[in-house]
Amino acid sequence: MAGGKVSARQKMINLMYLVFIAMMAMNMSKEVLSAFGLMEAKFADSNVATIDRNDRLLEELETKGSENPKEFKVPAARAQQVKIASDKLYKYLETLKKDLLKEGGYVVDAKTGKLPFEAMDKTDILDEAWFTGDRLTKKGQEVMANIEAYKSEINAILATDESYRGKSDEFNKTFSTEKVENRDGKKIDWLAYHYQGFPAIASFTKLTAMQNDIKVNESDMFSLFLGNIVTEATTLNKYKAIVLAEKSAFFAGEKFQGKVVIGKYANVPPTKLVVQGKEINLAEAIDESGAATLDFNVGNVGEHKIEGEFTFIENGKELPIKINANYVVVPRPNSATISADKMNVVYRGVDNPMTISFAGVSDNKVNANAPGLRKVGNGKYSMKPTTGTNVTINVSATLDDGSKAGDKKTFRIKDIPAPTGFFRGVQGSTKMSKSGVAKGSVKADFEDFDFDLPLQVTQFDFKVPGQPTITVRGSRLDGRAKAALNRAKRGQTVQILNIKAKSNGPLIKRVSPVVIEITN
């Protein structure tokens, strides 16, 4: 309609279409707003009736509590706790409704007592007060905090008796504040899903509806305390076969020992849980099925006991249930067992580190022996062979049932390899000036040898072509060797050979020589 040149008549027709469409949208909006207003009025009327009924139920509970304190004193006290928590959130929601009317400038009609439903179309009142981008304002956080506080208080009351379990599930479903999936499949926060972007009358109605949920829940709980609502404490048709092993690990060849019982898992939170002498934080340990998650250090390798106690409240009395079980700790499988059959080697004269353990047996029940073997820590040993070509390590273990188990392994004994000679950090052959040779020192070290075995050079021979070989004590050229070096010509090679070195342990083989070409 907007393309090209149009006549004045056509422009008028186009304008009429726009006005017509706008009028349709306005009429639709007014109908929707009025519908919300009617719903709000029904919830408000229901709330008045429910409050009156709840007051009578509470009065009846208090009367029964005074007449029959043994049966109803505790339920009456719980009902008072429910009323306090309910009134607190109910009144807080009422303040939110008043703030909404005040910010929007909405006034109740003095004659009809009704809100101006059709005028309550603003969407920015709660949007600005409760939300900022994807986050909540301080006011929005306050709203959620009040709702969560109410839920915590009611759940604490329902957790006091196993027979309230059915009501607890129903309550948490009604007042769930988990994220909600919108029509685009995206999960958004509960408060934003229910209140962000809605007309004022819609938000006002939802707040009244939540007040109705609070009062209906209050009514149900009062009836529950009076015994008018029968909830299922245990579901008899959901029993399972539960295997109770005497321990949680067995060795190959052992007989399985344990029991099979018929039972079921009760998703009723206890009032107290003690494990291994330590009280457990129930808020962190108990899941929705009533199972307690245990989290403690298992200790050393071997068999251990788990001892503790659940405490529940049933029919107003404490019901202790003992915890007795055991488990077996085995070494952590942090590496694969890979063995090269031809490479089981230990080196003569040095400390060969070893780890020796027996799967499923604590270290204090494992014994290992062999010539040159000594224990240096928990499962750690050092083997220092001296003579022979082979050594066998025998290992024995005492199992939990008192029986013995044993194993052994044989290692070949090899001499440590010959070290390599170095001159000024260079091995083999190199080029160097006379002054560089004169200042250098001879060293010996092992290449590709995993043991830390420091060596000290004690003697070497220095050979200059055409001159007698000079034997030098220590690791640096002496005066005679330097004098022979000064007579060497450019391009000639001098040799450092017959290098001798010593260690603090085994004898050292002859060190490889170094050849140096003189460059000046």
Please tell me what DSSP assigns to residue 361: S
Beta-bridge mates of residue 181: 187
- Please tell me whether residues 312 and 439 are part of one structural domain: no
- Residue 233 has a pLDDT of 35
Helices (H), ranges, 286-395: none
Cα dist from 120 to 57, 100, 225, whole Å: 37, 10, 41
Which residues fall within 8 angstroms of residue 198, CB to CB, at 6 or more apart?
Answer: 123, 126, 206
Of 159-168, 241-250, 323-332, 440-449, which range is least confident? 241-250
- Please tell me whether residues 293 and 432 are part of one structural domain: no
Q: pLDDT by residue (tens digit) across 478-488?
A: 999 999 999 99
The average pLDDT across 40-49 equals 86
- Residue 129 has a pLDDT of 92
Rounded distance, CA 288 to CA 172, Å?
11
Rounded distance, CA 327 to CA 305, Å?
6
Q: pLDDT by residue (tens digit) across 319-356?
A: 787 877 777 676 554 444 545 555 788 888 888 888 88
- Residue 23 has a pLDDT of 43
Neighbours of 514 (CB within 10 A): 24
User: Exposed, middle or buried by CB within 10 Å (0-12, 13-18, 19+), for 103?
Assistant: middle
Is the pLDDT at 127 greater than 70, yes or no? yes
**Residue 486: domain span:** 420-518
Confidence of residue 262 (pLDDT cuts 50, 70, 90): low
119, 200 Cβ separation under 8 angstroms: no
Last residue of some domain: 272, 306, 329?
329
Query: Is the pTM higher than 0.85?
Result: no
- Residue 142 has a pLDDT of 95
Question: Is 79 part of a structural domain of the chain?
Answer: yes
- Residue 223 has a pLDDT of 87
- Please tell me whether residues 392 and 435 are part of one structural domain: no
Q: pLDDT by residue (tens digit) across 349-381?
A: 888 888 888 876 788 888 999 998 999 988 899
The average pLDDT across 160-183 equals 86
- Please tell me whether residues 353 and 397 are part of one structural domain: yes
Please tell me what DSSP assigns to residue 511: B
Is the pLDDT at 272 greater than 80, yes or no? no
Q: pLDDT by residue (tens digit) across 340-350?
A: 555 788 888 88
- Residue 507 has a pLDDT of 79
Instruction: Retrieve residue 349's tokens.
Output: 């004269």
- Please tell me whether residues 17 and 49 are part of one structural domain: yes
- Please tell me whether residues 210 and 103 are part of one structural domain: yes
- Please tell me whether residues 202 and 73 are part of one structural domain: yes
Rounded distance, CA 177 to CA 191, Å?
8
In the chain, the amino acid numbered 331 is P
Which value, in Å, is the radius of gyration of the alpha carbons in the chain? 44
Q: How many percent of the chain have pLDDT more than 70?
A: 78
Is the pLDDT at 22 greater than 70, yes or no? no
When the pLDDT of each residue in the chain is averaged and rounded to a whole number, the result is: 80
Cα dist from 239 to 235, 262, 266, whole Å: 8, 6, 10
- Residue 12 has a pLDDT of 57
Question: Is 336 part of a structural domain of the chain?
Answer: no
Q: Which has the closest alpha carbon to 449: 387, 375, 503, 500?
A: 503
